[in-house]
Amino acid sequence: MTDSATGRDEGISEGRIETLRAVRGMNDIFPDEAEVWLSFEAIVRDWLARYGYRNMRTPLLEHTALFRRSIGAVTDIVEKEMYSFTDALNDEHLSLRPEATASTVRAAVEHSFLYGGPQRVWYTGPMFRHEKPQRGRYRQFHQVGAEALGFAGPDVDAELLVMCARLWSELGLTDIRLQLNSLGNLAERRAHRAALVRFLTDHVADLDADSRRRLETNPLRVLDSKNPAMQSMIEAAPRLLDFLGDESLRHFDAVRAMITEAGVAYDVNPRLVRGLDYYNLTVFEWVTDRLGAQGTVCGGGRYDGLFEHIGGKPTPAAGFAMGVERLIDLMRGADRLPAVRLPDVYLVHMGERADRFAIRVGEALRDARLAVLTHAGGGRFRDQMKRADASGARVAVIVGDDEADAGQVSVKDLRSGEPQTAVALVDAPGFIRRLTAQAQSTPQTGTT
């Protein structure tokens, strides 16, 4: 019998209904937390707009071949971390996207998006990697990414870095440092690769099984092994930076000079190779010590060869992506989370005519841009008032049948202890605004 026939897939075993849980490493985001996300996204949207980046959306599913060709077949992401499956309906090999640079470039090539010239785009959304879940590392996580498509110069690399520095400061985050490196061009990487293979072959006894295999297939990937036992050997390996020619060095120096001009501090990290194969020249990561092991909040670089790899014309490009969960975690640690937005009004209503009138009252207040939480589900007046207090609203608007008949509402300031005031519905928004404005200008001394 198959699982579905026994019901095990549906969480039913031996007639008992088990509680179903989310997939490991995939998070539910409840409203208090989602508000933080919304305000983070609002800051991010505004920041990106000020640099002229425009939003773009691509599918969550792509052909697996896209990621093999772009990120590289011999990378942790493609070898171990992709959610891949065969679509049984048409025998297509598909994967949930582990990142969105490949999709962005695929879409740009497919739709001749750069026909009229270079483009700056950004995206946000979930990405999927089957990694071992821990703080800051999830199987469904979210990125905000920016891609500058069709730009060759170091000025765009510098712009991307200066942008990130500005965002950290606008989010109130300090302690994020920039690590910078250059991966040169293809010929330089080939020369480095030959030296690296010689070095690794001499140290083959120190390599773990993965790295021995990669020595044959993709030796640069040995350098981003996280195996602690290999770190001192990796430290001693030939550095790509030492293989750079004049042109690559000029590009690197220009990026460094421009970000220095903008006041962005950085460290050159010659060991920084990134975990994806598409990079050349500038690569970078923004790192912090405040998040434990998963300290990289943003990574990116130049990927001038990727368009061709995906079947497009040679097109220079550069970009970055940041981990939203990690940044929000940092904001929480730095006590920079925005306040949760509370309703302005809790609308209490009792009586048959009052219940109908309350609908009109709620809409009239919302016309005046007030946030109104209407009591639902009936119940005694006292219980409704308790709900009003618990809601955090500044004001309760109370409607009974008498008020409904008179076209009035009673407004009660929930913090002052003052008796409620009857006002005509047309005057209610102004009255409530004055109360809430007073509340903002007088400091609160505890709740009453």
69 binds ligand HAM (CB under 6 A): no
Exactly one of 53, 138, 168, 346 binds ligand HAM (CB under 6 A); that residue is: 138
Distance of alpha carbon 225 from alpha carbon 319, whole angstroms: 23
Exactly one of 106, 120, 129, 251 binds ligand HAM (CB under 6 A); that residue is: 129
Q: Which two tokens stand for residue 209?
A: 């099984």
Closer by beta carbon to ligand HAM, 148 or else 345: 148
145 binds ligand HAM (CB under 6 A): yes
Closer by beta carbon to ligand HAM, 137 or else 415: 137
79 binds ligand HAM (CB under 6 A): no
- Closest distance between ligand HAM and the C-beta of residue 141, in Å? 3
Interface positions, 256-315, toward ligand HAM (CB under 6 A): 275-276, 296-301, 303
- Closest distance between ligand HAM and the C-beta of residue 371, in Å? 33
Extract the runs of DSSP E, i.e. beta strands, from 316-434. Answer: 317-323, 345-350, 372-374, 395-400, 408-413, 421-424
Q: How many CA atoms lie within 13 A of 316 on its CB side?
A: 12
Closer by beta carbon to ligand HAM, 141 or else 252: 141
Residue with nearest beta carbon to ligand HAM: 323
Closer by beta carbon to ligand HAM, 142 or else 412: 142
Find residue 147's DSSP bridge partners. 121, 319
Distance of alpha carbon 73 from alpha carbon 64, whole angstroms: 10
With the C-alpha atoms ordered 104, 77, 322, 192, is the resulting torsion angle positive or negative? negative
- Closest distance between ligand HAM and the C-beta of residue 163, in Å? 13
**Contact assessment for residue 251 and residue 188, using Cβ atoms and an 8 Å cutoff:** no
Contacts of 359 (CB under 8 A, 6+ apart): none
Question: What b/e sequence results for 180-205 when a residue is b if at least 16 CB atoms lie within 10 Å of its CB, and e otherwise?
Answer: bbbbbbeebbebbbebbeeebeebee
353 binds ligand HAM (CB under 6 A): no
137 binds ligand HAM (CB under 6 A): yes
* Candidates 31-39, 133-141, 181-189, 405-413; binding stretch for ligand HAM (CB under 6 A): 133-141
Closer by beta carbon to ligand HAM, 101 or else 248: 101
- For 211-232, give the DSSP string: HHHHHHH-GGGGGG---GGGHH
Q: Which two tokens stand for residue 105?
A: 């470039």
Exactly one of 76, 147, 277, 344 binds ligand HAM (CB under 6 A); that residue is: 147
321 binds ligand HAM (CB under 6 A): yes
- Closest distance between ligand HAM and the C-beta of residue 54, in Å? 16
Closer by beta carbon to ligand HAM, 62 or else 147: 147
- Closest distance between ligand HAM and the C-beta of residue 9, in Å? 26
Closer by beta carbon to ligand HAM, 140 or else 227: 140
Closer by beta carbon to ligand HAM, 80 or else 434: 80
Q: Which x/- pattern over 87-126 shows residues binding ligand HAM (rule: CB under 6 A)?
A: ------------x-x-------------------------
Distance of alpha carbon 323 from alpha carbon 311, whole angstroms: 29
Q: Which residue has the tokens 């499956």?
A: 85
**Contact assessment for residue 397 and residue 428, using Cβ atoms and an 8 Å cutoff:** yes
75 binds ligand HAM (CB under 6 A): no
Helices then strands, counting H and E runs in the chain, come out as 16, 18
Q: Which residue has the tokens 């920079």?
A: 336
326 binds ligand HAM (CB under 6 A): yes
Do the strands 267-268 and 280-287 form a parallel or antiparallel pair, or are they unpaired?
A: unpaired
User: By C-alpha distance, which of 98, 109, 92 is closest to 68?
Assistant: 98
141 binds ligand HAM (CB under 6 A): yes
* 407: alpha, beta or left? (left if phi > 0; alpha if psi -120 to 50): left
Q: Where on the chain is the footprint of ligand HAM (CB under 6 A)? A: 99, 101, 129, 131, 136-138, 141, 143, 145, 147, 275-276, 296-301, 303, 319-323, 325-326
